[in-house]
Every structure is written in C-alpha cells, then in structure tokens.
Homo-oligomer: A and B are copies of this chain.
Amino acid sequence: MLTERQRSVLDFIQREQREKGITPSTREIQNHFRFASQTSVMQYIATLERKGFLNRHARKARALITPAMKVRITDIPIYGQIPAGMSTLTEQSIEGHVSLDMRSANVLKNRGTFALRVRGDSMIDAHILDGDIVILEDTKELHNGDIVAALIDGETSLKRYVVEHGRPYLKAENPRYPDLVPARELKIQGVVVSLIRKQERRRRQ
C-alpha cells in the first residue's frame, strides 16, 4: 500500500506527534529528510492523504491528523476510595488516571466514567482480582447481574446486583463473603463496564 519512503515519512510524522506533542511543519519534515526542496514533502503529504493514511486541515499550520490521533481517548480518573455522596468526586481522592480509547473502555459517554482499584478478593468468582482497575459508569439503567460499586457502611465495595423474586440484593462473588440481603437505600455509585489488569510477573525464581 505504501512505499518504503512514504512509510518513513508517515512514521516520522507520528513519532514527532508522540514525542514532541505537536505535528511537524512541512519544513521540519524537509530538514529531517534533508530534502533540498519543501515540495517533496508536499508531494508525500498529498500521497499519504490520497491513500487515506492522513487527514489534514487545508491551509492551517501543523494540521496533519494521523489515524493514531483519531481514536477518541478518554481520561478516566482512578479513585482510591469514593467519598460518601458521590456528588463530591473531589480531585483530592484521585489516585491516578487511565487513558484509553472509548471503544476498548466500553464507554459511550465522557461524563460520569470513573475507575476504582479493586481491594480484596470478594469478586474472585467473577474473575475480578485484588489490584485490578475496574472502570465504571454512573448510569441509571441497572440490570440484574450487573457488577456495581455500592456504598456500604461508608465504604465503597464491589458486588453483583441481583434481583430475585422482585427483590434486589447485593451478592459477593466469593462464598467466604456474605450477601447483603435487604438492600434498602442502595447507594449504587456505578456499574462496571470494563476492567484492566496488570499481569503479575515474578522476577527470577
């Protein structure tokens, strides 16, 4: 699809975007490849655009857009512990951020998405482990079987939301943990939509 030279120009553009944060100008590309003429760059850009590897805003400076930038990345805050209330998602309690594309994060909207670091093994039978990052959405729609973050005794806890005989309760996915049956005044903070795990690797053994 692309010639070797065309590929290297595209690579350079993307590398600069990643490393410097800005798109190179045509003259910067020219200098990097030691072209005697800037027109060479214009031709490469035109070709890359024609072949669909590049988009651009005509007549604007540094306005090349590569597919890598097109994916909508969302920035999800990770909370150590969500303070009671949930309306007060203060910046203070943010432990970090995950940035990933919306499709992989399984989120649709930008608002009301947050993440928690899982503590303990109460959801181990749902294959959610201690240390996992779960991404949650603050949604109204709650379905039977959803895994939710709920506020119980002032602490945020991950449980499965189950409706049986018309009555909802919160179920831990570990036989060693009790269910929370009369789930009155449920403070559901969010529904788990996806999960990120850093795989442990033992060094030397």
List chain A positions with a Cβ less than 8 A from chain B: 18, 20-23, 25, 55, 57, 60-63, 65, 68-73, 75, 97-101, 104, 106, 124, 127-129, 133-134, 143-147, 163, 191-199, 201-205
B70 touches A21 (CB 8 A): yes
The CB with the most chain B CB atoms within 10 A, among A22, A70, A106, A133, is that of A22
A135 to B130, CA, bound (A): 19
A22 to B203, CA, bound (A): 42
How many copies of this kind of chain does the complex include? 2
The CB with the most chain B CB atoms within 10 A, among A65, A99, A129, is that of A99
Closest B residue by C-beta to A101: B99
Q: Which B residues lie within 8 Å of A163 (CB)?
A: 205
Q: Which B residues lie within 8 Å of A72 (CB)?
A: 18
B146 touches A106 (CB 8 A): no
Q: Which B residues lie within 8 Å of A196 (CB)?
A: 100, 104, 194-197
B144 touches A60 (CB 8 A): no
A75/B65 contact (C-beta < 8 A), A101-B99, A195-B196, A195-B199 known: no
Partner of A100, one of B98, B146, B203: B98
Partner of A99, one of B104, B143, B145, B191: B104
The 7 A-B residue pairs whose C-beta atoms are closest, nearest first, are A61-B61, A100-B100, A21-B65, A127-B127, A99-B101, A106-B198, A195-B197
Closest B residue by C-beta to A197: B195
A193 to B198, CA, bound (A): 6
A57/B193 contact (C-beta < 8 A), A127-B127, A146-B201, A199-B106 known: no
Q: Which B residues lie within 8 Å of A193 (CB)?
A: 198-199, 201
A75/B68 contact (C-beta < 8 A), A21-B55, A22-B23, A127-B127 known: yes
Taking the nearest CB of chain B, how far is it from the CB of A71, in angstroms? 5
Q: Which B residues lie within 8 Å of A145 (CB)?
A: 201-202, 205
